[in-house]
Amino acid sequence: MKIRHGIALVICIVVSLMIMRGYTQEQYFNVIYACETLGGILEEWKSPGKYSPINMFDDDIRTCFASRNNTDDFTLILQLETPITCDEVQVLGGVALNDDLYMKNNRPKELTIWLYETYEALIKDKEALEKEVILEDKREYQSIRFDKPYTFEMFSVQVLETYKGTQYNDTCITELKFFNKGKEIKAKDIDKMKKHYIKVVGERLRGFLKPGLYDVSEGLCEAIIDSKGYIKWRNFNNADGKYYKDATILLTRIFEKDSRLYVEYNGKVYLTKYILRFYPEQFHRGFTANLSVRNIGGIEKNNLSFMKRK
């Protein structure tokens, strides 16, 4: 009897400690990486995080994720800190704050969802689930149920077609929720996730702009970028097969600061529009396929694209 009482006492102490420490078996998630593979997140260049994918998890209809692509389709990839088990996703499409904004912006219509157990499974294109969905055009949550619970670390959604907005061509999603057995899986720390997202935007820019040799605008010329972002331009002469210094391009420096992209052009520094496109096989490795810099020096059509030479 003493032994039984002792075991019972230990169990009570352990349970009490677990309760005091906030122990729970409930699932939570934390997004550690999120990107739109065509680099088309709205106003990312000017206000990093304002329309980021993390907004879909903040339970606030005043914020949303918005893609700025001029086509209907985009692909969003999310990496979770730890895997979750999920059998349902609920989507609140469009800008759900009010009817007016809902109708002015694009809303997702046809989409495909992919679940991957691990990052490696994504790289090898071995999905645990691929599900095609047609959403109705209504300003309310719509449920997407899976055939069974799936455990995954990587989540991807591709919007293939939209309900067109009356004024803007931005495709928006206000909220996206994960469920398992009818219970919502909440974000662990939404404020931390939002700050981390902005930090990663800067890391992606710096990762691309590492010192090295770049091909510029599909063979226009080549650029050598140093550790501080200063650029040496060279043109190729077909006659003798050699490169020569090019002093005609007025862009002299390109660099990241506060998760934004800046250029020094004709002696002045400008905050600059850009699109950063990703190779799927290089996801989360800090390297990207192409950086397109727009309106350099505030001049329309004064655009250059950089591709890192291997």
Say if CB 58 and CB 190 are below 8 A apart: yes
Block residue for tokens 């691990």: 118
- Give the least confident one: 125-129, 248-252, 277-281: 277-281
Helix (H), strand (E) at residue 131: strand 129-134
Backbone angles phi, psi at 70, to 5 degrees: -85, 10
pLDDT greater than 70 at residue 69: no
- The class that CATH gives domain 28-205 is mainly beta
The answer on pLDDT for 62 being more than 90 is yes
Interval 233-264: pLDDT, tens: 998 776 776 767 766 788 999 999 999 999 99
What's the pLDDT at 2? 47
pTM equals 0.85
Q: What is the pLDDT of residue 279?
A: 58
Q: For strand 28-29 and strand 183-187, is the pairing parallel, antiparallel, or unpaired?
A: parallel
The structure tokens listed for 116 are 């991957």
Q: Rounded distance, CA 24 to CA 224, Å?
A: 53
Closest by CA to 165, choosing from 241, 67, 244, is 67
Can you tell me which residue has the tokens 């800090």? 286
Rounded Cα distance between 13 and 21, Å, is 12
Q: Which residue has the tokens 């075991």?
A: 7
79, 153 in Cβ contact below 8 A?
A: yes
CA distance 76 to 56: 12
